[in-house]
Amino acid sequence: RHGNFGDIVLGYDNVDDYITGNPYFGAIVGRYANRISNGQFTLDGRQYQLEKNIGKNHLHGGLKGFNDVIWDAKQIEVDGSMCLEFSYLSKDSEGGYPGNLSVKVTYSLTENNELKIAYSASTDKTTIINLTNHSFFNLEGEDKGSTLNHEVFINADKFTVTDKDSIPTGEIRKVDGSPMDFRKTKTIGKDIRDAYEQLVFANGFDHNWVLNKEKGNMSLAASVREPVLGRFMEVWTDQPGMQFYSCNYLDGSDIGKNNKAYHRHSAFCLETQHFPDSPNHEHFPDTSLSPGENFYSETIYKFGVYM
């Protein structure tokens, strides 16, 4: 709004900190983003045991998920625009997952101030897949502290209820009359201290919203406005869900860019995804991928200024 440019994504100044750090700053997350109960799922009549890396459960691909592996990178041209393509072969049984999974993630910038992320994958054995990007945003600036004044809209009538370990119970609940209702724009801080059980369990917002959309269609998932500098962002996706995380567990121990400590609620995440623990809930959208099928998904982050 005032012509001020700024870095709005939390991160580190050097590669080593990305390797040793815990918060998944800016990472590609997989094979399965979010949680799987007890690290177990059954596919084609066979039970698979994944690595347990958050208590008794599995999170973000396990002990060495896609955020901790070396990707091949190259510059490519798509529709006349230069893009950055990352590729990785996740081998059979890596983290406990079946099948050799070939993954590509392409990042491109558009003339409309958009960052487009395209995910594609194929497998030689039936497996499960759930990919997302785990960027941490603060629209006032990555070093500015609390985001509780940021105004959020989420295009969702329902969310997936979790237990105290953030594992879905299977219930899909309407947001009506609860702090989970972001259908009318409100600040992150407005209800975050409410005694609502779901917020108590997660120490804030850390839930999957069931997006209002037709399967596979690209649609608006969320928008966020920052009132001081007037920056805004929109998230568009073809995925059925989105994890809104209010960074409840940043505690100052992560020292980021320019030697800045990141504290609780100093960012937020909008992770487009399939639902957590989907393989263990038949009524959740299917996350299986079979040989001969191609997984493809897109998410767009659009940025701008409002007056």
- How does pLDDT run across 57-106, given as a tens digit for each residue? 999 999 999 999 999 999 999 888 899 999 999 999 999 999 999 999 99
Q: Is residue 6 part of a domain?
A: no
Q: Is residue 30 part of a domain?
A: yes
Q: Is residue 213 part of a domain?
A: yes
- Report the alpha-carbon angle 216-219-222, nearest 5: 125
Q: Which of 58, 60, 134, 265 is catalytic?
A: 134
Q: Which of 140, 207, 271, 274 is catalytic?
A: 271
Q: Is residue 7 part of a domain?
A: no
Number of domains in the chain: 1
- Give the per-residue pLDDT at 2: 78
Cα distances from 1 to residues 14, 223, 268, in angstroms, run 31, 17, 21
Q: Is residue 47 part of a domain?
A: yes
Q: Is residue 155 part of a domain?
A: yes
- Give the per-residue pLDDT at 105: 99
- Give the per-residue pLDDT at 81: 84
Collapsing DSSP to helix, strand or coil, 167 comes out as coil
CATH for 226: 2.70.98.10
CA gap 57, 52 in Å, rounded: 5
Domain that holds residue 82: 15-305
pTM for the predicted model, two decimal places: 0.97
Question: Can 134 be counted among the known catalytic residues?
Answer: yes
Q: Is residue 67 part of a domain?
A: yes
Cβ neighbours for 214, distance < 8 A, ≥ 6 positions apart: none
CA gap 212, 147 in Å, rounded: 25
Q: Is residue 53 part of a domain?
A: yes
